A and B are shown apart, each in its own frame.
Chain A
Amino acid sequence: QVQLVQSGAEVKKPGASVRVSCKTSGYTFTRYGINWVRQAPGQGLEWMGWISTGNGNTNYAQRLQGRVTMTTDTSTATAYMELRGLTSDDTAVYYCARDRGFEDNSGFPFWGQGSLVTVSS
């Protein structure tokens, strides 16, 4: 069965960077893109960006451009999201979510369990 297992909770100081991993299994990694979505405490969902696991192409949310980098390691079927220059506004649960189909962004049927990132001095 399809599984996305994310790395554990992190506590970071303002200005630091964080890298969240998303290890996948149960399907061919390179055939489905990975999205990253975050949710601040008590708030809604915010789409952060997408990476093609086939060729590494990315699309990022404009407000995060320059601070976020999404990468993959095809040898371990793992996706990564790095966010730099952290502020308290980046405190959130970060999710990875797989595309529904091959070159098909029509919804995200599979999600990781979420990784809580807390930014605090």
Chain B
Amino acid sequence: EIVLTQSPATLSVSSGERAALSCRTSQPINSNLAWYQQKPGQAPRLLIYGASTRATDFPPRFSGSGSETEFTLIISRVDSEDFAVYYCQQYHDWPFTFGQGTKLEIK
């Protein structure tokens, strides 16, 4: 099973600041990585797939990069609506697996 490790567990930023979230995988997965945003009481929302393709629902301040074992989600200027938990997920091999999440909180 491919293990995903996200860091940091919690990231405190102020609105307008840049946020960088990391996801590392225990095996190379090419670009077979997705990112999700989840707010309390809601289902997750697909944010990024293919490591860098942004879903249409999300603004350009969100970007994804990386390949093989190192991936990054960047929020260029954090907006108040961005405070949430972010999960990475690999779909390179069965079983699909999620990281443990990074909570983006208001500083």
Contact = CB atoms under 8 A, between A and B. Distances in A.
Interface of A: 35, 37, 44-47, 49-50, 59-62, 95, 97, 100, 105-109, 111-114
Contacts of B44: 37, 45, 95, 97, 108, 111
Nearest to A101: B49
Given A59-B94, A112-B43, A106 B32 contact: yes
A109 B43 contact: no
Contacts of A60: 95
7 contacts: A45-B98, A47-B89, A95-B44, A100-B46, A107-B46, A108-B46, A109-B55
- The 6 residue pairs across chains A and B that have the minimum distance between CB atoms: A107-B49, A107-B34, A111-B43, A45-B98, A109-B46, A47-B96
Interface string B85-97: 0010101001111
Interface string B74-107: 0000000000000101010011111111000000
Interface of B: 1, 32, 34, 36, 38, 43-46, 48-50, 55, 87, 89, 91, 94-101
Contacts of A107: 34, 46, 48-49, 55, 89, 91
A44 B46 contact: no
Given A106-B49, A107-B49, A47 B87 contact: no
Contact of A44 (B45, B49, B55, B100): B100
Contact of A62 (B1, B32, B101): B1
Contacts of B45: 111
A59 B95 contact: yes
B11 to A, nearest CB: 16
A113 B101 CA distance: 20
Given A37-B98, A45-B36, A100-B49, 18 more contacts: A37-B44, A44-B99, A44-B101, A45-B38, A45-B44, A45-B89, A47-B89, A47-B96, A47-B97, A49-B95, A59-B94, A62-B95, A95-B44, A97-B44, A105-B91, A106-B91, A111-B45, A113-B43
